[in-house]
């Protein structure tokens, strides 16, 4: 089969997700081109996280399709999506409490990194060094990378997830409210990481309630309301006021 060249990283067509009687996602059709940073905004419960979870295989959609680089992608679990090159920072973090920092940073990567999947002393050392390098970019201070996550703060855990995604992501990085739990300094460090990804032309899909952040980072703004995508706008063409009225459904 010959591959069709496509300008799109991600496309969804009429994606729907019902939870029992709740239509959390209604015919979401969306596309994202290579090199774009797109922000998804919307009120609590608008369907933003559901959209992400149904793209990355955390959940299976009720109907509709997802295409990744032009090819239909029905990821059965988040690990399949990671293997395909989608790194995601979930709103409810997918980190493992009983593993330490380094092990979490390399979660699901061990097999591609090492031949036999068993950690040798040397590999552990290399992983720790690499983990330290990735984490230093987030400004978060974690003294001991052998520390298990169960003892760490929400902000520290979030920074680990972000550093992991930014470090591994090549084809697409999705972040669901990455800075919601972070302090001012850490938020600005994460925003710098995202700027760095932009400069490297790595597509980033970021969900955020912080409109200042959205306007600083995104090329386009996608608004969700009551499970539907109600608007997709170039950031340079809109004001914060207009975005707010799309979010709330008020007439602009």
**Site residues, Mg ion (CB under 5 A):** 48-49, 91
Minimum distance from CB of 19 to ligand ATP (Å)? 3
56-78: buried (b, 16+ CB within 10 Å) or exposed (e) per residue? bbbbebeebebbbbeeebebeeb
Q: How far apart are CA 195 and CA 133, in angstroms?
A: 18
Minimum distance from CB of 170 to Mg ion (Å)? 25
Given ligand ATP, Mg ion, none, residue 178, with its beta carbon under 5 to 8 Å by kind, binds none
Q: Please give the sequence-ordered ranges of beta strands (E in DSSP) within 57-150, or none if there are none.
A: 63-68, 71-72, 86-89
Q: 160 near 149, Cβ under 8 Å?
A: yes
Footprint on this chain of ligand ATP (rule: CB under 6 A): 19, 22, 24, 42, 44-50, 91
* Residue 230 three-state SS: strand
Q: 40 near 218, Cβ under 8 Å?
A: no
C-alpha 140, offset from chain centre: 19
Given ligand ATP, Mg ion, none, residue 203, with its beta carbon under 5 to 8 Å by kind, binds none
Q: Nearer Cβ to Mg ion, position 48 or 164?
A: 48
Q: Nearer Cβ to Mg ion, position 81 or 207?
A: 207
Q: Nearer Cβ to ligand ATP, position 7 or 45?
A: 45
Beta-bridge mates of residue 172: 86
Given Mg ion, ligand ATP, none, residue 22, with its beta carbon under 5 to 8 Å by kind, binds ligand ATP
Q: Nearer Cβ to Mg ion, position 49 or 104?
A: 49
Q: 179 near 213, Cβ under 8 Å?
A: yes
Minimum distance from CB of 190 to Mg ion (Å)? 17
Minimum distance from CB of 91 to ligand ATP (Å)? 6
166 Cβ contact list (under 8 Å, min separation 6): 87, 134, 137, 173, 193, 194, 196, 197
Minimum distance from CB of 237 to ligand ATP (Å)? 24
| Position closest to Mg ion via CB | 49
Q: How far apart are CA 91 and CA 89, in angstroms?
A: 7
Given Mg ion, ligand ATP, none, residue 47, with its beta carbon under 5 to 8 Å by kind, binds ligand ATP
Q: Nearer Cβ to ligand ATP, position 28 or 173?
A: 28
Minimum distance from CB of 134 to ligand ATP (Å)? 26
Q: Nearer Cβ to ligand ATP, position 24 or 221?
A: 24
């Amino acid at each position: 089969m010959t591959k069709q060249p496509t300008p799109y990283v991600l496309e969804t067509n009429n994606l729907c997700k019902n939870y029992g009687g709740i239509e959390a996602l209604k015919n979401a059709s969306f596309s994202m081109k290579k090199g774009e940073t797109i922000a998804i905004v919307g009120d609590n419960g608008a369907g933003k996280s559901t959209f992400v979870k149904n793209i990355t295989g955390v959940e299976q959609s009720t109907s509709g399709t997802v295409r990744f680089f032009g090819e239909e992608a029905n990821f059965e679990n988040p690990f399949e999506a990671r293997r395909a090159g989608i790194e995601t920072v979930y709103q409810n973090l997918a980190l493992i409490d009983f593993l330490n920092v380094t092990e979490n940073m390399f979660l699901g990567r061990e097999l591609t990194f090492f031949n036999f999947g068993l950690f040798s002393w040397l590999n552990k050392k290399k992983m720790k060094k690499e983990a330290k390098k990735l984490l230093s970019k987030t400004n978060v201070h974690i003294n001991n990378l052998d520390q298990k996550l169960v003892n760490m703060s929400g902000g520290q855990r979030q920074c680990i997830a972000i550093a992991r995604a930014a470090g591994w992501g090549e084809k697409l990085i999705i972040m669901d409210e990455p800075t919601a739990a972070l302090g001012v300094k850490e938020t600005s460090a994460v925003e710098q990481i995202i700027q760095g990804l932009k400069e490297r032309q790595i597509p980033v899909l970021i969900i955020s309630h912080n409109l200042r952040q959205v306007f600083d980072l995104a090329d386009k703004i996608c608004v969700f309301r009551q499970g539907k995508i109600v608007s997709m706008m170039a950031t340079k063409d809109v004001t914060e006021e207009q975005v707010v009225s799309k979010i709330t459904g008020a007439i602009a």
